[in-house]
Structure 1
Amino acid sequence: MLKALLTTTRVILTAVGLIVVIDCIILMAVGKINFGSVVPFLVGIIFIAHGIFWHAIRQFSSQHLWLNRLWYALWAIFVLWLISFVVFVYALQQQIKNSQQPAPTVAAIIVLGSGTVAGKPTPTLASRLDTAVPLIKSQPDALVITSGGVGFQRTRSEADIMATYLHETHDIQFERVLQEGKSTSTEENLAHSQEIIEAKGLSITRPIAIVTSDFHTIRAASIARHQGYQQPIPVASSTPLSIRYNAWFREYFAFVSGWLLGEY
């Protein structure tokens, strides 16, 4: 029984490790080298190593008392991490549920960027823009800001591509959309958008909608509050089921990264 359980554990560790490592390699290959991709990559390597070399690792660690204690301590830390991840996922689900409610009257609508390919929004970004459209059309007096800078080896800002998509796909006039084309992160998205809002004579103490992917709502709202937004209202666009849980996993590490960097 114990042998079968150990074999199952090793298979699970190896499989999960491979999935995480491959996913992180793909992310880093397209330039997303950050805490949210590097740490899971290292965790995946550790999983694979334990899955393949479990007996060798245990045999080596058991020969030294301090190594044996360290081994158990690291697994205890992992269990605590797993608990924190479950708590994060629960909080995220509650935030997603709240962010899918109809938004009240707002002073501004900020749509956060999420990447472009060949001058077009990625599916994730297109989903954010599609989600923003009903709010934009129902609140004609609200400022509309597309937020995203010029990516690596790009010539157009993400904000410009977003505004073009809104115009060509949803008939939102260019004149209606203000473009924030300098940012390269969520923190910069909101900071530069704040400058535009205040330049238009509005205050960030008023209700301001922040349209982003559902998995990103907790971090975006936390950063906004830290920057002085008094009433940030996250508006969630749905994430396809095929990548939803992967996005939640990466967002956990991104949230921790933001906390360590003092973004909230």
Structure 2
Amino acid sequence: MSKTLLTRILLLIVGIIITIDCAVLMIIGKINFGSVVPFIIGVIFVIHGIYWERIRRFIRHHPLFKRVWYGLWGLFILWLISFMVFVWSLQQQIKQSKQPAPAVAAIIILGSGTVAGKPTPTLAKRLDTAVPIINAQSNALVVTSGGVGFQRTRSEADIMATYLNDAHDISFERILQEGKSTSTEENLRNSQALLAAQGVSITDPIAIVTSDFHTIRAAAIARHQGYQQPITVASPTPLSIRYNAWFREYFAFASGWLLGEY
């Protein structure tokens, strides 16, 4: 198999996988920087895989486009390096987040979607991960954070609190429900007021429970908002979707930086 053919096949396979994955996300309503940009990259890969020879012939006869083409590939390589650095940083953050949690004043559990009045598997993992800390630290306040989704009647925070009570016998009296947020930034910002009303300051150590792939961004947003001792607690992501989640999180992290979230 020639090098050219191998390159085309690789571009085509990777492009199709990325395009389908992001298209599904956008169809179910997750239209954001982390789904649109990878979708565009996937489409470009597919086009290159199909029309590789035509593109090469075209740029050979148009020097300006040739420089642009090689320049874009150079940018892609730089992006790939930055993605590898992000993945390495994420792995280090995940390892740190799996250390036993020290004493905290509060435990904020970030929302991640519900289906038919129940937490999604990802959200259930976050809640299950929070339970040992909740049980071990009886004085820590618990905050479930998530608003009312599209065509929903109950807030995500309410569904999360119900899950903790039904599945793990965590008393409702111990749970503060932040039921208005629609993003991580709002999750953490809105939780501040609830905690302040209970005498907990963002200068106190506060555990933030989220999915492992989300820990870097959650910690960065928290520090930007003034949380002085945020302690991220990582819930595991199934291997079947782990690397896909890391890929999308890279773009979500970049989006948050562009939007000034940290």
TM range (shorter): over 0.9
Displacement over 3 Å in runs of 4+:
none
Who is 2:231 aligned against?
Answer: 233
Residue 138 of structure 1 is matched in structure 2 by 136
Does residue 1:163 correspond to 2:156, yes or no? no
Does 1:89 find its partner at 2:90? no
| Counterpart secondary structure, 1:93 | helix
Q: Which moved more, 1:215-224 or 1:7-16?
A: 7-16
Residue of structure 2 in register with 1:202 after alignment: 200
- C-alpha displacement of 1:221: 0.1
- Which one of 5, 14, 17 corresponds to residue 16 of structure 1? 14
Counterpart residue number, 2:217? 219
TM superposition shift of 1:182: 0.3
Aligned-partner Cα distance in 1 for 2:186–2:174: 22
Measured in 1, the distance between the counterparts of 2:207 and 2:115 equals 26
User: For residues 124-150 of structure 1, what are the alpha-carbon distances to aligned partners after superposition, in whole Å with 9 as ceiling and x for unaligned?
Assistant: 000000000000011111110000000
C-alpha distance in structure 1 between counterparts of 2:144 and 2:224, whole Å: 21
In 2: Cα distance, 1:198 partner to 1:14 partner? 53
Distance in 2 (alpha carbons) for counterparts of 1:120 and 1:29: 21
TM-score normalised by structure 1 residue count: 0.98
Q: Which residue of 2 aligns with 1:65?
A: 63
CA distance in 2, matches of 1:260, 1:35: 10
CA distance in structure 2 between the partners assigned to 1:263 and 1:62 by the alignment: 44
Q: What secondary structure, in the 3-state scheme, does the structure 2 residue paired with 1:211 have?
A: strand
1: CA distance, partners of 2:194 / 2:27: 33
Inter-partner Cα distance in structure 2 for 1:62 and 1:177 = 65
- Larger mean Cα displacement after TM superposition, 52-61 or 160-169: 52-61
Match of 2:52 in 1: 54
Report the counterpart of residue 76 of structure 2 in structure 1: 78
Quote the Cα distance in structure 2 between the aligned partners of 1:166 and 1:251: 27
Shift of 1:5: 1.2
- In the alignment, which residue of structure 1 is the partner of 2:30? 32
Q: What is the aligned length?
A: 262
The equivalent residue for 1:106 is: 104
Q: Amino acid of the residue matched to residue 259 of structure 2?
A: L
1:127 is matched with which residue?
125
Unaligned 5+ segments in structure 2 are: none
Task: Calculate percent identity across the aligned residue pairs.
Answer: 73
2:255 is the alignment partner of 1:257 = yes
Could you tell me how far 1:195 is from its partner in structure 2? Answer: 1.1
CA distance in 1, matches of 2:23, 2:253: 20
Measured on the aligned residues, the alpha-carbon RMSD in Å equals 0.7
Q: Deviations over 1:104-129 (max 9, x none)?
A: 00010000000000000000000000
Corresponding letter in the other structure for 1:29: I
How much does 1:9 deviate? 1.0
Aligned-partner Cα distance in 1 for 2:5–2:52: 10
Q: Give 3-state SS (helix, strand or coil) of 1:144's partner.
A: strand
SS at match of 2:96: helix
Structure 1 unaligned regions, length at least 5: none
Q: Return the TM-score normalized by structure 2.
A: 0.99
Q: Distance in 2 between matches of 1:201 and 1:93?
A: 34
Q: Deviations over 1:184-242 (max 9, x none)?
A: 00000000001111121211011000000000000000000000000000000000000
Distance in structure 1 (CA, Å) of the matches to 2:145 and 2:4: 49
Q: What is residue 118 of structure 1 aligned with on the other side?
A: 116
The one-letter code of the counterpart of 1:125 is L
Amino acid at match of 1:19: I
SS in 1 for 2:207: strand
Write the distance in 2 (CA, Å) between the matches of 1:61 and 1:198.
61
Quick one: distance in 2 between partners of 1:211 and 1:137? 14
